[in-house]
Amino acid sequence: MGKKLYINTTINGEAVEFLCEPRQSLLEIFRDHLGMTGTKEGCNDGNCGACNVIIDGVLMNSCLIFAVEAQDRKIVTIEGLASPQGLHPLQQKFLEHASLQCGICTPGFLVAAKALLDQNPDPTEHEVRHWLAGNLCRCTGYDKIVRAVLDAANVAPNTETSLQSSN
């Protein structure tokens, strides 16, 4: 009972295999076994969104997924947002709008916002706020996060910009 299972999955476009116990969450595997600590743990019960990942195109909390369920799935984490050519427009806009203070919730917000823009490239403020309601931020009051997402939506897809000062 409870024997370890060998899981094959795809993370940020790369084939990844790992051995895990059934009780281990995907979040735990990322953070404690794969060295991928960009996905954050905030509550471990699906109420803060810090551990958001996109699995087969769908936004999910990685704390509420057993790692064994990841077999044959395609997973995108915060580490997969930027490309060697530069940041994702959302990352760039978060920097320009000062949308982070402590930054612990930022990976979860970015992943959630990416999932939103992937399916709704031109959301209203209401839609952005509704979509992001499962992500808690205690620092910013959300104003600058919402503005950054709205602004990123205006950036044409695939025109990823490089990091530079807005000054």
Partner 1 sequence: MQNFEYCTPRTLGETFDLLGENDCQCRVLAGGTDLIVQLRQGALSVDRVIDIKHLPECKQLICDPIEGLTLGATVPCHRIYEDKAIVDTYPGLIDSIAIIGGIQIQGRATVGGNLCNSSPSADSIPILIAYGATCEIVGAAENRRIPVENFCTGPGKNILEKGEILVAIHLPPVPKSSGAHYLRFIPRFEMDIAVVGAGAYVELDDEGRMFNKVRIGLAAVAPTPLYAREAGDLLKGREVSDESIDAAASSAQSIARPISDMRAPAEYRKHLVKVLTRRALWGAINRARGEFVPNAVQNNDQ
Partner 2 sequence: MAATSNSENGNGNGKYKVIGTRPIRHDGLDKVTGRAVYGIDQNLPGMLYGQTLRSPHPHARIRSIDTTKAEALEGVRAVVTADDFSPAGDDEVISLVEGVFRLTHMRSNILAKDKVLYQGHSVAAVAATNIHIAEEALRLIEVDYEILPYVEDVHEAMREDAPLLHDDLTTEDFGEDTGTKSNIASHTQFKIGDLEKGFGESDVIIEHEFKTASVHQGYIESHNATAEWKTDGQLTVWTSTQGAFGVQKQTAGILGIPVSKVKVVPMEIGGGFGGKIPVYLAPQAALLSKKSGRPVKIIMTRADVFKSTGPTPATYVKVKIGADKTGKFLAAEANFAFAAGAFPGSPVWAGAMCVFSCYSFPNALVDGYDVVLNKPRSAAYRAPGATPVILATETIVDEIAEKLGVDPIEIRLLNAAQEGVRRVDGVVYPVIGCRETLEQAKAHEHYRTPLNGPNQGRGIATGFWVNAGLKSSATAHVNEDGTVNLVEGSTDIGGSRASIAMQFAEVLGLPAEAINPSVGDTSSVGYTELTGGSRVTFATGWAAYEAAQEVKRKMMAKAAMYWEAPEEEVRFEDGIFLHATDADKKLSFKELAGHLKDLGGAVVGSGTVDPDYGSGGSFTTCMADVEVDPDTGKVTILRFTMIQDAGTAIHPSYVEGQMQGGSVQGIGWALNEEYFYSEGRMQNASFLDYRIPTCFDVPMVDTVIVEVPHPGHPFGVRGVGEASIAPPPAAIAIAIYNAVGVRLRELPMRPDRVLAACLEKLAASH
Position among 69, 129, 151, 155 found at the interface with partner 2 (CB under 8 A) = 129
CA 54, 141, 49 angle in degrees (round to 5)? 20
CA 18 to the chain's CA centroid: 21
- Per-residue contact string for residues 60-89; x = within reach of partner 1 by CB under 8 A: xx-xxxx-xx--------------------
Position among 20, 55, 110, 153 found at the interface with partner 2 (CB under 8 A) = 110
Q: Which does 52 bind (CB under 5 to 8 A by kind): partner 1, partner 2, none?
A: partner 1
CB of 70 to partner 2, least distance (A): 18
User: How far lies 8's CA from each of 66, 75, 100, in Å?
Assistant: 14, 11, 34
Residues 125-144 touching partner 1, rule: CB under 8 A, are: 126-127, 130-131, 133-135
Note whether 121 binds partner 1 by CB under 8 A: no
Question: How far apart, in whole angstroms, are the C-alpha atoms of residue 57 and residue 83?
Answer: 18
CA 92, 46, 42 angle in degrees (round to 5)? 60
